[in-house]
Amino acid sequence: MLILYISFCYRDQIVEMFDHAYGSYMKYAYPADELMPLSCRGRVRGLEPNRGDIDDSLGKFSLTLVDTLDTLVVLNKLDEFEDAVRRTLRDVRLDNDVVVSVFETNIRVLGGLLGAHVMADMLRQRGERMQWYRDELLHMAKELGHRLLPAFNTTSGLPYPRVNLRYGVLNPLSRTGTESDTCTACAGTMILEFAALSRLSGEAVFEVHARKALDVLWEKRQRGSDLVGTVINIHNGDWVRRDSGVGAGIDSYYEYLMKAYILLGDNVYLERFNTHYSAIMKYISQPPLLLNVHMHNPTVSVRSWMDSLLAFFPGLQVLRGDLKPAIETHEMLYQVTKQHKFLPEAFTTEFRVHWGQHPLRPEFAESTYYLYKATGDPYYLRVGQSIVEKLNAHARVPCGFAAVQDVRTGTHEDRMDSFFLAEMFKYLYLLFSEKNQLHFDIDEYIFTTEAHLLPVSLSTSQPPCRGNNTVRLSQLPTEDLFTYSCPSTQTLFPNNPSFAKTIRDSYKYLTGVGRAFHASPDRCVCVVVVNSCTFTKIYFFLLSIFLLILLLAGQHYPVSLMLLCNSFHQCLSFNEAHEGVYRVKLVAEVTQTPEEEVVPLIVQLISPPYLGRMVLTAGPAKFGMDLIKQEHGVKGSIVKTSPYTACGPIENAQELRGHIALALRGDCMFAAKARRLQEAGAIGVIFIDHREGSNSAETPLFQMVGDGGSTADITIPLVFLFSQEGALLTSALEDHSNVDVLMLPKERQLEVVLEEEEYRQQGDSCLTPGGDHVLCSYGQTAASPPSHSPNDPNTDPGSQDSRVPQSPPTDHKHVAVPKESPHCLEARSGLD
Phi, psi of 755 (to 5 degrees): -70, 145
Strands 684-688 and 660-664: parallel
Which distant-in-sequence residues (6+ apart) come within 8 Å of 508 by Cβ? 331, 335, 516, 517
Cα→Cα distances 81→69, 286, 423, Å: 6, 44, 16
Cα→Cα distances 615→216, 736, 739, Å: 63, 17, 13
Phi, psi of 698 (to 5 degrees): -110, -15
Identify the active-site residue in 56, 243, 363, 707.
363
Q: Is 345 a catalytic residue?
A: yes
Task: Identify whether the C-beta of residue 592 lies closer than 8 Å to the C-beta of residue 557.
Answer: yes
DSSP state letter for 748: G
Length of the chain: 832
Is 593 labeled as ligand-binding?
A: no
What does the alpha-carbon distance between residue 832 and residue 818 come to, in Å, rounded to a whole number? Answer: 20
Identify the active-site residue in 70, 104, 207, 423.
104
Identify the active-site residue in 12, 34, 345, 417.
345
Q: Is 757 a catalytic residue?
A: no
Task: Identify whether the C-beta of residue 719 lies closer than 8 Å to the C-beta of residue 618.
Answer: yes
SS3 717: strand
Phi, psi of 436 (to 5 degrees): -75, -5
E strand map for 477-600 = 522-525, 561-563, 584-588
Bridge partner list, 617: 602
Phi-psi region of 214 (alpha: psi -120 to 50; beta: other; left: phi over 0): alpha
What does the alpha-carbon distance between residue 529 and residue 112 come to, in Å, rounded to a whole number? Answer: 38
Q: Which residue from 315, 258, 252, 245 is spatially nearest to 286, judged by alpha carbons?
A: 245
SS3 419: helix
DSSP state letter for 404: E
What does the alpha-carbon distance between residue 258 and residue 317 come to, in Å, rounded to a whole number? Answer: 10
Helix H or strand E encompassing 762 = helix 756-763
Task: Identify whether the C-beta of residue 669 lies closer than 8 Å to the C-beta of residue 707.
Answer: yes
Q: Is 219 a catalytic residue?
A: no
Q: Is 104 a catalytic residue?
A: yes
Long-range contacts of 298-303 (CB under 8 A, 24+ apart): 298/225, 298/227, 298/244, 302/243, 303/243
CA dihedral 427, 429, 431, 433 (to 10 degrees): -140
Please count the CA atoms within 13 angstroms of the CA of 762 that sit on its side-chain side. Answer: 22
Identify the active-site residue in 56, 251, 271, 423.
251
Q: Which residue from 106, 104, 103, 100 is spatially nearest to 59, judged by alpha carbons?
A: 100
Binding region for Ca(2+): 449
Binding region: 449
What amino acid positions are annotated as catalytic residues? 104, 251, 345, 363
